[in-house]
Amino acid sequence: MEIEVLFFASYREKSGVKSYCFEISAGSNLKELIYKIVQKFPKLHSDPTKIVAAINEEFSDQSQILCEGDIVALIPPVSGGSK
């Protein structure tokens, strides 16, 4: 099945795309998708387990199973902290 992935801010610049469709097998989880994304765009992150992602606009654990039609967004750390 096909999953659309959205890239923002530093991830958009590192990948060079705003969105990209990945083909994954049914029953795959977010972790498996992120592994594919990082294979395609290795500059994204040195440690894929640390990538935060949202499925259909909700922050999601990497163990979550993906469904046909889901939209995944990779969420770079937001500008913040205590400043």
Partner 1 sequence: MIDKKFHVQISESTLDQSIAKKFVKSNSHGACTIFEGVTRDHSDNRKVEFLEYECYKPMAIKKLEQICAEIIEKWEVKISILHRIGKLEIGEVSLIVATGSPHRKEGIQACEYSVDRIKEIVPIWKKEFFEGGSIWIEDENGFRPFS
Q: Which residues contact 52 (CB under 8 A, 6 or more apart)?
A: 59, 74, 75, 76, 77
Candidates 2, 8, 16, 19: give the one binding partner 1 (CB under 8 A). Answer: 8
Closest to partner 1 by CB, 23 vs 58, is 58
Q: Which residues contact 83 (CB under 8 A, 6 or more apart)?
A: none
Q: Tell me if 73 contacts partner 1 by CB under 8 A.
A: yes
Closest to partner 1 by CB, 27 vs 69, is 69
Angular region, 50: left φ>0, alpha ψ -120 to 50, beta rest: alpha
Segment contacting partner 1 by CB under 8 A, of 7-15, 22-30, 34-42, 62-70? 7-15
Binding site for partner 1 (CB under 8 A): 6, 8-10, 12-13, 50, 52, 54, 57-59, 61, 73, 75-83
